Amino acid sequence: MGTGKPTRRAVLVVGGVALLAGYWGDRSAGSAGSAGGAGSAGGAGSAGGAGSAGGAGSAGGAGSAGGAPLMPAPTAAPAPSASSQSAVIPGTQPPASVSPPAHPTRSAGPPSRTDPPSRAQLTRSRPRGRRGGVEPPMRQIHDGRNVIALTIDDGPSPQYTPQVLRLLDKYKVTATFSMIGWEVAAHPGLVREVAAAGHTIANHTWSHLDLAYLPPAPIADQINRANGALHQATGQVPTLFRAPYGAWSPAVLQLCAQEGMTPLGWSVDPRDWSRPGVASIVSNIMRNTRTGSIILEHDGGGDRSQTLAALKIVLPRLIAAGYRFAVP
């Protein structure tokens, strides 16, 4: 009895192993049969006992060589986390980075309108030709070959206008002075001096506002107040109007037509008001002036010493080049 229990236990263990080996052998025999029967050979030898159980295992290896699974199909693995997706497994190629779209999406919002459009944009947006009596701004004169016009803006100035008058008289040049209403009201005697010298006077608004962004009522006020000051100083109402900054709008042109005034533009702008230097002013005028040009200069609105010095150079040069001066 003392040795019977271990013997029975051994038999039970060996029997159990044999049963398990037979079970797995049967499964692998069915699946590996298509691979050439290697698995079934292991299953047949499993009846030999524990040693054949190892044979059954080798049969399973033969079955796996055929591509058939030896274990039930695994369940689906959970989706990898973002950190695991970014990791690169050794021996594999890193995932290709996502390239940006070929044409990025543009902003759907409207462009910023905090800044006013440039003067060039305003010029191009104006109507061409006459429409219902409305004239576009005059940018050229048509008085014959080599005839040009000189216009002088933002005065009258007690400091610079008398000097400009003396210079014009020296070279027998007639010009057009675009005058600001409140300067006219402050210096009416100087206005009369300009008119007496044979120069033309144009309306340049009352206070030099940018009219392009104003409604008709304040535009009319700017024009009419300046006309009143000029009439009081000279006894005449001007027939020319120049918009400050060259900023024209349909409302400005319509009011010019109603008042019987010709809108006066320019074609040569040396930007003397910005004081770029005497040489810059002179070279700009000489480079851009041709028959019919209307030249823009300033005698008011600030320090005009560079303008005066440039005129002393450019006037005799233009005359020597064969140009003659007229008024629009």
Catalytic residue list? 153, 298
Nearest to 155 by CA among 185, 180, 188: 180
What letter represents residue 293's amino acid?
A: S
Pairing of strands 294-298, 147-155: parallel
**Inter-residue contact 240 to 176 (CB < 8 Å):** yes
Q: What is the DSSP string of 181-222?
A: HHHHHH-HHHHHHHHHTT-EEEE--SS---GGGS-HHHHHHH
Report the interhelical angle of 305-320 vs 161-170 (nearest 10°).
Answer: 10
What is the distance between the terminal CA atoms of the chain, rounded to a whole angstrom? Answer: 142
Provide φ and ψ at 131, rounded to 5°. Answer: -135, 110
Nearest to 276 by CA among 243, 300, 244, 303: 303
Nearest to 160 by CA among 172, 152, 148, 170: 152
**Inter-residue contact 290 to 138 (CB < 8 Å):** no
Q: Map residue 244 onto helix, strand or coil.
A: helix
Pairing of strands 240-241, 324-325: unpaired
